[in-house]
Amino acid sequence: MDQKELLALIAQGENESVEFKRCGQQPDADTFESLCAFANGFGGTLLLGVGDDGQIIGIEPSRVLSVNRNIINVVNNPNAFDIPVPLDFEQITIDGKIILKINVINSPQIHSYKGKVYARRGDCDVAIRGSLPLAEFCIRKQNILTEQRVFEHVDLDDLRSDLIDKARSLALIKRADHPWGTMNNRELVESAGFVGKDYNTAKTGVNLAGILMLGTDEVIRSLCPTYKTDALVRIHDTERYDDRLTSSTNLMDSYEELSGFCRRHLPDRFALDGDQAISPRDAIVRELVVNCLVHREFTSPFPAKIIIDPYGIRTENASRASFEGPLEPDTFNPLPKNPLIAGFFSHIGRSEELGSGVRKLFQSSRLYTGRDPELEEGVIFHAFVPTNPAPAPISASTETSAASVPKAASSDSVLPSDIAEAALFLAATEKGLHTADLEAAGHARRTAQRVIRELVAQGKLVSSGNGRGRVYRSGKLPDQS
């Protein structure tokens, strides 16, 4: 990494994958907490010799080798780390000040420092406490499919026969010769993969996928007490809500409840797909609700949320993520979170093949408003689909590049629909650009942060301040001649 790249990294501030640490004679204990948290998460970068506010302090040249050795000794000390953390060191000098850049690789192991397991939450390192959060963390790291957990005392009598009949009817509507049409209830449940065997104990029973799809509410509450989906409308009463639905029933009925709720509160705009009139709203609702119900970690105490606000519809749900970052329709590699549940939804016509939902969501969002959705994978999966059409382009007298926007431009002007153009436009105003400004314009916070980082790295934005007070301004002052 060269000086320019390092300065751009520092300018973006501390976040989920970047941490700053001062460094005196030797690294402090919180340095090792950060190394542990990065290894337990998606990896990250630790910069020694940088203050919390991004000030470059540097490390005394005579201490660099000692600091380096100290870190290596500690991470390989079984009394400090139960499993060594994989590290990569890089030394960079800026204005005569030495910065030690430590890259931490995403590890398949669970690491602990002095008996505590640390995880990254935003720009903080937190110790995971309690059996349930720790179990959830282990599940994510080990990629265990919790939907296949077998409950030996749950049998066919604990499933709702009317739901099985409904599933059979829906499957036959989708495909007239579907094999479920000739199966009895037990055969259908077994065919769906909802009866499993625990090969450690040789016990058989209905698994969690079958219970969540077809079980009675009593059984679901007993075996999965934290499972629920909270749907809120916050358009007029933004502090609480205008309308609310909490769904904790089986996934088939929950899909109907949540889809109906969202359709009632979202405007319906018909569009042409070729020469056929379609409802992009219905397709958006279907994909978002299916994602909330299918691709989630059901053992997590984090409740799934669907929120409709003046800017759009957004969802949050716990996820067993294999990486962290934005999803793009042409570059992401879909990974099954709950393949049995996903397969059942496909059989009954509620979803398509793995990966097609993301592409369908992008297509429908563009038909609905002319704007792309924002999807962010992580421990919590975030999705946002704007419901307001893209604003009209600003006039030629208010061009959006940093070199052509007048310094006195008003931030009340109509913003460009492109997020990068909007960022440059706001950065050239007297107020400057804050991340919250792009959020208020309907863009997801993570996407806003990513775009701002890219513009800083390109030298188009410079920052001042720290935390929520950080403001970005044009990297090149506009020509006032």
Domain range annotation of the chain = 3-129, 146-223, 229-340+350-386, 396-474
Sheet with 304-309: strands ordered across: 243-247, 229-233, 304-309, 312-318, 380-386, 374-377, 325-326
Q: Calculate the alpha carbon distances from 51 to 14, 19, 83 in Å.
A: 10, 10, 29
Spatial CA neighbour of 433 closest among 409, 403, 399? 409
For domain 3-129, is the CATH number 3.30.420.40? Answer: no
- For the record, the structure tokens of 194 come out as 């909802």
Task: Give residue-wise pLDDT tens across range 226-285.
Answer: 899 999 999 888 788 999 999 999 999 999 999 999 999 999 988 877 778 889 999 999
Query: From CA 211, how far away is CA 220, in angstroms rounded?
Result: 7
Query: Would you state the pLDDT for residue 105?
Result: 76
Task: Name the more confident of 41 and 478.
Answer: 41
Task: Give residue-wise pLDDT tens across range 60-87.
Answer: 888 889 998 899 999 989 999 988 888 8
Task: Give residue-wise pLDDT tens across range 332-384.
Answer: 666 667 889 999 999 999 987 666 788 889 999 999 988 889 888 877 888 99
CA 429 to chain centre: 31
Q: 36 pLDDT exceeds 50?
A: yes
Task: Name the more confident of 56 and 134.
Answer: 56
AA letter at 363: Q
Task: Name the more confident of 416 and 8.
Answer: 8
Phi-psi region of 343 (alpha: psi -120 to 50; beta: other; left: phi over 0): alpha
One-letter-per-residue 3-state SS of the chain: CCHHHHHHHHHCCCECCEEEECCCCCCCHHHHHHHHHHHHCCCEEEEECECCCCCECCECHHHHHHHHHHHHHHHCCCCCECCCCCEEEEEEEECCEEEEEEEECCCCCCCCECCECEEEECCEEEECCCHHHHHHHHHHHHCCCHHHCEECCCCHHHECHHHHHHHHHHHHHHCCCCHHHHCCHHHHHHHCCCEEEECCCCEEEEEHHHHHHHECHHHHHHHCCCCCEEEEECCCCCCCCCEEEEECCCHHHHHHHHHHHHHHHCCCCCEEECCEEECHHHHHHHHHHHHHHHCCCCCCCCCEEEEEECCEEEEEEECCCCCCEECCCCCCCCCCCCHHHHHHHHHCCCCCCCCHHHHHHHHHHHHHHCCCCEEEECCEEEEEEECCCCCCCCCHHHCCCCCCCCCCCCCCCCCCCCHHHHHHHHHCCCCCECHHHHHHCCCCHHHHHHHHHHHHHCCCEEEECCHHHCEEEECCCCCCC
Query: From CA 19, how far away is CA 102, in angstroms rounded?
Result: 10
Q: 410 pLDDT exceeds 50?
A: no
Query: Would you state the pLDDT for residue 4?
Result: 83
Phi-psi region of 261 (alpha: psi -120 to 50; beta: other; left: phi over 0): alpha
Q: 404 pLDDT exceeds 50?
A: no
Residues facing residue 150 across a β-bridge: 207
The two domains 3-129 and 396-474 share their CATH topology (first three levels equal):
no
AA letter at 254: S
Task: Give residue-wise pLDDT tens across range 162-185.
Answer: 999 999 999 999 999 999 999 999
User: Which of these ranges, 104-113, 201-210, 221-230, 412-421, has the smallest mean pLDDT?
Assistant: 412-421
Q: 20 pLDDT exceeds 90?
A: yes
- CATH level 3 topology of 229-340+350-386: Heat Shock Protein 90 (3.30.565)
- For the record, the structure tokens of 220 come out as 């679901």
Query: From CA 373, how far away is CA 442, in angstroms rounded?
Result: 10
CATH number for the domain running over 396-474: 1.10.10.10
Q: Which residue has the tokens 């020694």?
A: 48
Radius of gyration (C-alpha) of the chain in whole angstroms: 26
Query: Would you state the pLDDT for residue 355?
Result: 65
Q: 392 pLDDT exceeds 70?
A: no
Query: Would you state the pLDDT for residue 290?
Result: 94
